């Protein structure tokens, strides 16, 4: 009996230790979670991009992400991140690369020439028309830098993705079919300065 009791005590103590460790892990995870957005929110002085489509992007080459707002008619506004605020319009104007030519066009904001400034890419899945407008560092020029046709990605059933596949600093294009939920084709960016 003594032997059984001793064994039983050992078993309970191991369980207690395990329970304690599990609780400790959960508590640590909860503490980490609470620290992510625990500060009070920063109130912006005005509403940004009302009725427009908003994207993060970098338009002055620093590490802070700026904002670009594109309206349906192709009008563009860029707000630089300054001390975690977006108080001032840095540049605004019309850009033919802002996807105003068709409501079916999908806009992407990424760096297509590798200069550290994000650019505009518009892909119209219906007619396959693809345009790129390169940001100069101070503005979007009033003309397109590239116009092309990518029939392989054309069609309402297709999905397009823009990201830098090979890490050369220039955004590439991937496409696939919506119903298969995956990509099956890559187009590498061959832009040369
Ligand atoms: Ca920036
Ligand atoms: Ca660029
Ligand atoms: Ca690339």
pLDDT value for 139: 95
**pLDDT, tens only, 147-191:** 999 999 988 888 889 999 999 999 999 999 888 878 899 999 999
Ligand 2 centroid to residue 193 C-alpha, Å: 11
Task: Give the pTM.
Answer: 0.79
Pairwise CA distance, residues 19 & 7, whole Å = 19
The Å distance, Cα 108 to ligand 3 centre, comes to: 15
Nearest ligand to the CA of 164 is 3
> Averaged over 30-56, what is the pLDDT?
86
Distance 109 CA to ligand 3 centre (A): 14
CB 59 within 8 A of CB 117: yes
* pLDDT tens for each residue of 84-107: 889 899 999 999 888 875 557 889
Q: pLDDT exceeding 90 applies to what percent of the chain?
A: 50
């Amino acid at each position: 009996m003594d032997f059984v009791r001793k064994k039983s005590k050992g078993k309970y103590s191991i369980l207690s230790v395990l329970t304690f460790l599990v609780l400790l892990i959960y508590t640590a995870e909860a503490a980490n979670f609470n620290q992510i957005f625990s500060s009070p929110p920063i109130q912006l002085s005005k509403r940004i991009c009302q009725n427009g489509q908003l994207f993060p992007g970098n338009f002055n080459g620093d590490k802070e992400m700026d904002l670009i707002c594109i309206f349906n008619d192709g009008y563009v506004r860029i707000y630089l991140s300054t001390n975690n605020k977006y108080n001032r319009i840095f540049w605004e104007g019309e850009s033919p690369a802002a996807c105003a030519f068709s409501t079916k066009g999908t806009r992407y904001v990424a760096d297509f020439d590798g200069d550290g400034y994000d650019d505009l890419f518009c892909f119209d899945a219906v007619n396959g028309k693809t345009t790129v407008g390169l940001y100069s560092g101070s503005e979007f020029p009033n003309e397109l830098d590239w116009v092309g046709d990518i029939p392989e990605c054309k069609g309402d059933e297709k999905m397009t993705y823009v990201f830098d596949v090979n890490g050369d600093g220039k955004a590439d294009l991937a496409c696939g079919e919506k119903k298969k939920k995956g990509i099956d084709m890559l187009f590498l960016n061959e832009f040369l300065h």
